Homo-oligomer: A and B are copies of this chain.
């Protein structure tokens, strides 16, 4: 299959959410127009996005909701559970552990770390905080698919360097710093201050 744009993948995730709402309402089929929502994208964009992966609709009718949900889950790789480790038991780590939106998508946080020994051993939502020094040993025994880095910026690069040695292939980085990493490891950044800064820019020019 050809290379798919990141923007397309993000929209597929959005379509999946919308489709689940339509399914909950008992809708059997939806049109590209309905999936485009209230101006967030266009019907043509929806059809193009889906067409990269196959022909899921029926002309004159639209797309069958349950089948398209199954297809999108398959395309996005959500047809299986993921084991996730959260590194950093500060406020962000606290918010991530027990966040409903993860479990319902098959992302299970199974390990939680901090370097503060006062936190080690404490349980949050049934998950015990572990000693950050044990990361390599733990991940060797019970590998995870994804690591979420939720530490201060100054600690992030060293931790990324350590966890990539364990063979991890995907990292979600909440630390407000660009981390370098080997090819073959996918890193996505979530930077809340940066989002506010784009809002600031948007406000400035209006």
Contacts and interface: CB of A to CB of B under 8 A. Distances in A.
A197 B105 contact: yes
A192 to B, nearest CB: 7
A192 B101 contact: yes
A141 interface: no
Copies of the chain in the assembly: 2
Given A96-B192, A194-B14, A170 B186 contact: no
A176 B105 CA distance: 12
Interface string A1-30: 100001001101110111000000000000
A55 interface: no
A203 B169 contact: yes
Interface residues of A, number: 60
Given A101-B192, A102-B192, A186-B199, 12 more contacts: A9-B198, A12-B201, A13-B197, A13-B198, A14-B194, A18-B178, A76-B200, A77-B204, A94-B95, A169-B206, A170-B203, A184-B206
20 contacts: A10-B194, A13-B197, A13-B198, A17-B177, A18-B178, A38-B178, A75-B201, A82-B200, A94-B95, A99-B192, A101-B176, A105-B193, A105-B196, A146-B196, A146-B199, A169-B206, A170-B203, A172-B192, A186-B202, A188-B195
